[in-house]
Amino acid sequence: MLASGPSHGYDLKRRHDERFPQARPLAYGQVYTTLQRLVRDGLAEIDGTGSDGGPERTAYRTTDEGRRELARRAGEITPSAPYVTNEIFAKVVALILTGGDAGACLLARRAAHSDRTGEPTALKTAPGTDLTTVLSADYALNHLDADLRWMTTTAARLTTLTTDIRTA
């Protein structure tokens, strides 16, 4: 966000939350801490301060080094997560291990996930939707779809999984 031009923390937070509607909103404290770290590391610098009739705000801008670092990081290939840390996965495994009703859990989660697909679909098809919102909604839909496929596969294997665990 800062690479697109000088901004103060308030505007960066607002633009982030607008551009990434499916993401958790940023906390103001996180924005200002990050800006301070970027300045400390030479990746951003203070562009000036002003009040424009309101509270005094400090504007920041990206340095040449910051632009190079952004390009470097954007070009990095991030490996996939080596471990499964999904809440649904953990609950289903716990229910299988303790003799709980993993099937009912999967059924309820499938219904909740199916209901939730309407939110990103409506978001991305709304008139005037910008590209970032469409991309964010597509990302959310693909993750929901992956979860739904995993739940379907797991539900089909529950009898075998439960039998294997009980006989082990």
- Closest listed residue to residue 65, CA positions, set 57, 53, 73: 73
CATH for the stretch 2-75 = 1.10.10.10
- Percent with pLDDT over 70 in the chain: 95
| All structural domains of the chain with their residue ranges | 2-75, 87-167
pLDDT at residue 135, rounded to an integer:
87
- What's the whole-number mean pLDDT along residues 120-124? 86
pLDDT in tens, 89-111: 888 888 888 888 999 999 999 99
How far apart, in whole angstroms, are the C-alpha atoms of residue 103 and residue 28? 41
How much is the pTM?
Answer: 0.64
